[in-house]
Amino acid sequence: MPRHSLPCFKCGKPLINVDETSENQPYVGTEFTTLGHYGSTIHDEMNPDEVRLELVLNICDTCILRGIDADVIQSRGEDGHPLLSHHHLDDPARAWVLAQNEKQYGSAWGEDTPQDYETLMRKAGWKGSLDD
């Protein structure tokens, strides 16, 4: 059994690592890190004499999709400037993401309410099988 990575920060879903040698490489999730952020009252590493700590958290792909749908996640262009538009994921890509989450973790985690992900995937154009 692969070693677990950090759980999803949003829903608490336990995530597994892509491979057993990874420290935190979540499958069907994304790791986010920061060495601080100017303006934060929790993690604003301004003093060069203090030890710099890196904050690390994971967000599962389902929660990322929900954030995109709620317009609380923005995309940035290659130049680093925010793109004030919806994320680039088209319906077939969304269906694939949902299929991977359903295959690996099921649908009843954390604050998640039961959903018929297979129907949502089919509506978005998924033509595969959850057994693929």
pLDDT value at position 24? Answer: 92
Looking at the predicted structure, is the pLDDT value of residue 36 above 70?
Answer: yes
Helix (H) or strand (E) holding 60: strand 55-60
- pTM of this structure: 0.69
Looking at the predicted structure, is the pLDDT value of residue 57 above 90?
Answer: yes
Lowest mean pLDDT segment, chosen from 4-8, 17-21, 29-33, 50-54: 50-54
Helix (H) or strand (E) holding 57: strand 55-60
What are φ and ψ of residue 6, in 5° steps?
A: -65, 150
Averaged pLDDT score across all residues of the chain = 77
pLDDT tens for residues 68-103? Answer: 878 787 777 788 777 655 566 777 777 777 777 777
Unique residue bearing structure tokens 């694939």: 96
